[in-house]
Amino acid sequence: MSEKTGYVVVFGCKRCGKCKNICPVDAIYEENELSKIDTEKCTLCMKCIDECTNRAIIYME
């Protein structure tokens, strides 16, 4: 497995729920109706960033 660098974080979620369905490893969960990323599961595929039209998911190095 290649080494991961960075994280994807949710900032300003509008609670539309779209990102949760796109994640191939089920790393997105809800907490108080806001989406959160499980960084242990996340493979940094970036699919959720494309999916979030509210631009609430950000990649941070």
Residues within the interface to ligand SF4 (CB under 6 A): 8, 10, 13-19, 22-23, 25, 27-28, 35, 37, 42-48, 51-52, 54, 56-57
Question: What's the CA gap between 26 and 23, in Å, rounded?
Answer: 5
Nearer to ligand SF4, 3 or 23 (CB): 23
Shortest gap between Cβ of 51 and ligand SF4 (angstroms)?
6
We find the least distance from the C-beta atom of residue 52 to ligand SF4, in angstroms, to be 3
Taking CA atoms, 58 is separated from 1, 28, 30, 46, in Å, by 23, 13, 17, 9
* Separation CA 15–CA 56 (nearest Å): 10
